[in-house]
Chains A and B, each alone.
Chain A
Amino acid sequence: MKCNKEIVELMHQYLDGAITETDEQRLRSHLQSCEACQTHFQELKRTVALVTANIELKPSKDFTSNVMAQLPKEKKRMSAKRWMKLHPMLTAAAIFFILMFSGTFSAWNQDQHQLSYPKGQNLIVENDTVIVPKDVVIEDDLEIKNANVKVEGKVLGDVVLINGKHLSASAGKIAGEIKEVDQIFNWMWYKLKDLTESVFSLD
Chain B
Amino acid sequence: MIEEKLKQNIKSVKKGDQSAFEDIVAFYQNKVFAICYRMIGNKQEAEDISQEAFIRAYLNIQSFDENRKFSTWLFRIATNLTIDRIRKKKPDFYLDAEIKGTDGLDLYAQLPAEQALPEEEVESLEMQSYIQNEIMQLPAKYRSIIALRFLDELSLKEISEILEMPVGTVKTRIHRGREALRKRLRHV
Contacts and interface: CB of A to CB of B under 8 A. Distances in A.
Interface of A: 5, 8-9, 12, 15-16, 18, 40, 43-44, 46-48, 50-52, 54-60, 63-64, 66-68, 70-72, 74-75, 78, 81-82
Contact of B156 (A9, A16, A56, A75): A16
Given A57-B30, A64-B25, A68-B25, A16 B47 contact: no
Given A47-B178, A82-B19, A60 B47 contact: yes
B67 interface: no
Contacts of A82: 17, 19
Nearest to A65: B22
B145 to A, nearest CB: 12
B34 A57 contact: yes
A64 B26 contact: yes
Interface stretch (B50-58, B68-76, B83-91): B50-58
Contacts, number: 100
B142 interface: no
B150 interface: yes
Interface string B145-188: 01000101000100000000000000100110011011001101
A47 B25 contact: no
Contacts of A50: 127, 131, 185, 188
A75 B30 CA distance: 29
A41 B103 CA distance: 17
A13 B26 CA distance: 34
A44 B19 CA distance: 44
Contacts of B125: 56
Interface string B22-41: 10011001100110011000
A40 B186 CA distance: 9
Contacts of B128: 54, 56-57
A54 B150 CA distance: 9
B131 A67 contact: no
A-B pairs, top 10 by smallest CB distance, nearest first, are A74-B18, A59-B33, A12-B175, A57-B34, A64-B25, A47-B182, A51-B150, A67-B54, A43-B186, A56-B128
Nearest to A45: B182
Contacts of B103: 5
A39 to B, nearest CB: 9
Given A47-B181, A57-B128, A78-B18, 17 more contacts: A9-B175, A16-B156, A16-B174, A43-B186, A44-B178, A46-B188, A51-B150, A57-B33, A59-B29, A63-B25, A63-B47, A64-B25, A64-B29, A67-B51, A71-B18, A71-B21, A82-B17
Contacts of B21: 68, 71
B115 interface: no
A36 B113 CA distance: 19
Nearest to B30: A58
A44 B179 CA distance: 7
19 contacts: A9-B175, A16-B156, A16-B174, A46-B188, A47-B186, A50-B131, A51-B181, A54-B34, A54-B150, A57-B30, A57-B33, A64-B26, A67-B55, A68-B18, A68-B21, A72-B59, A74-B18, A78-B18, A82-B17
B34 A63 contact: no
Q: Residue among A51, A52, A59, A82 with the most chain B CB within 10 A?
A: A51
A191 B93 CA distance: 84
A63 B27 CA distance: 11
Contacts of B140: none
Given A51-B146, A82-B17, A66 B51 contact: yes
